[in-house]
Structure 1
Amino acid sequence: MYEPIRTKSVHSTPAGPPSDFPHRSREEELDIQLAGHLGALLAVTDDLRALTASAELDTAAERLAREICRLRGGRTPLRAAPGASGDPAVLHRRAHALAGRALVVAASRADTAAAILAAERMDAHTAALTGPKELSTAH
C-alpha cells in the first residue's frame, strides 16, 4: 500500500530531542505583535504632534510609550524625529487603523490596559476625522 517513511522527520516531536532554535509562546508572540502595532501608532502620533501641538496628543504619546515599555520588558521604544509634513486626515486614518489592529491583538491576549488605550485612540482619531458635532436645535 504505502511506502514506509525512511527519512527522519524535520519536525520535532515531544519524544524527540529539543530543537536548536528558540521557540516563543503564543503570549510572547502576541506581546511582540502588540508592541509593534503600538509602536507604529506612537510614530504616527508623533507625526501628528509635529503638525498640531496638542496636550491630548502629548498625553497619548506618553501613554503609548509606557505601554510599549511594559510589553518590551522595560525597554523604551525608539522614537524617530517626526516629520512636520503630511495631511492630518491621512495620519488620523492611519492612526485609527493601527489602533484597531492593536485593539484586536490586545483583546486576544486579554490585555485590558492596552485594549482600553487602543479603543480610546480609535475614538480620538474618529473624532478628529469627523470634526466637532453641532447640537441640534430642532424641537
Structure 2
Amino acid sequence: MYEPIRTKSVHTMAGAPSSDFPHRSREEELDIQLAGHLAALLAVTDEIRALAPSAELDAGAERLTEQVTRLRGGAPLRAPAAEAPAPSRLATLHRRAHALAGRALVVAASRADTAAAILSAERMDAHASAAESRELATR
C-alpha cells in the first residue's frame, strides 16, 4: 500500500559516511565534563587559598588535583594567583566553589564515580560552612 522511501534522509551528511568524524561515548563525555568541573573548583580553591590559607584547603586542593589527573590523564595547569582578591570576595568565592562542587557531584553521580562524588560532597560541605560563617561574620 505504501511505497518505500527511495531518497536519503535529510539528517545524513551528503556524501560523508558517519565514521568520518569522531564520536565519544557517554562515559567519555561525562569524564570530560567532570574533569572540567573539578578543574574549575580547583581554580576557585586556589583563589581562596591565596586569600585565606589553611591546611584543609591545601588538602582539598591536593585531592582535587589527584582526581583531575586521573580523569584527564595529566596534571591540571595551575597558576598562582597574581594578586589576592579583596577580602569581601571571600564569601562569594566560597559560594562559587560550593556551586561548582554541586555540579561536579551531579556529574560524578551520573557517571557512578564514587571517589569524585565523595570528594565533591565534602567540598560542598566545607565551602557551604565557610560561606555561612563568613556571611555571619560580616553582619
TM-score grouping bracket, smaller chain normalisation: 0.7 to 0.9
Equivalent AA in structure 1 for residue 20 of structure 2: D
Aligned to 2:7: 6
Q: Distance in 2 between matches of 1:125 and 1:111?
A: 21
TM-score (norm 1): 0.83
> Which of 127, 130, 133 is the aligned partner of 2:129?
127
Shift of 1:80: 2.4
What residue identity is the alignment partner of 1:38?
L
Task: Tell me the CA shift for residue 11 of structure 1.
Answer: 3.3
Query: How far is the alpha carbon of 1:3 from its aligned partner?
Result: 9.7
Structure 2 partner of 1:81? 80
Q: In 1, Cα distance between the equivalents of 2:7 and 2:18?
A: 21
Structure 2 length-normalised TM: 0.83
* 2:74 is aligned with 1:51: no
Structure 1 stretches of at least 4 aligned residues deviating more than 3 Å after TM superposition: 1-5, 7-12
Matched position secondary structure for 1:19: helix
Deviations 1:12-48 (A, max 9, x none): 8xxx955211111000000000000000000000000
Please, which runs of 5 or more residues in structure 1 have no aligned partner? Answer: 133-139
| Contact 2:92 2:131 (C-alpha < 8 Å) held by counterparts | no
Q: How big is the shift at 1:7?
A: 3.8
Higher fraction of helix: 2
Over the matched positions of the two proteins, sequence identity in percent amounts to: 67
RMSD: 2.4
* Alignment size in residue pairs: 128
